[in-house]
Amino acid sequence: MSDPQISIIAPLYNETDSFPHLVARLNAVMDASPLSIEVVLVDDGSRDNTAVLMQQLALTDARYHCVFLSRNYGHQIALTAGIAIARASEALFIIDGDLQDPPELLTEFYQKFQEGYDVVYAVRKKRKESWFKRLAYSSFYRFMRSISYVNIPLDSGDFSLISRRVADVLSQMPEESRFIRGMRSWIGFRQVGVEYERDARVAGEPKYSFKMLRKLAYNGIFNFSEYPVKIVTRMGMFTLGVAILYLIQTLIKKYYYGDVPQGFTATLLVIILFSGIQLIALGMIGEYVLRIFFQTKGRPLYVVREVIREQQRQPLVGIDGVRTQPLVPKQIV
> Model confidence over 189-212: pLDDT tens digits?
888 888 877 766 666 565 555 666
End-to-end CA distance of the chain: give it in Å, rounded: 26
User: What is the CATH T-level fold of the domain 6-225+300-315, as seen in this structure?
Assistant: Spore Coat Polysaccharide Biosynthesis Protein SpsA; Chain A (3.90.550)
Q: Judging by beta carbons within 10 Å of its beta carbon (0-12, 13-18, 19+), is residue 326 exposed, middle or buried? A: exposed
Say how far apart CA 299 and CA 281 lie, in whole Å: 29
Strand pairing partners for 126?
197
Does the pTM surpass 0.85? The reply is no
Contacts with 296 (C-beta within 8 Å, 6 or more apart), sequence order: none
Over the stretch 275-329, which tens digit does the pLDDT of each residue have?
777 777 777 777 777 777 777 777 788 888 888 876 666 554 333 333 333 333 3
pLDDT in tens, 83-135: 988 888 888 999 888 888 888 888 889 989 889 898 898 887 766 666 666 67
Task: Give rounded-to-5 percent helix, strand, coil for the chain.
Answer: 45, 20, 35
According to DSSP, residue 271 is labeled H
Domain locations in the chain as residue ranges: 6-225+300-315, 227-296
Longest alpha-carbon distance in the chain: 92
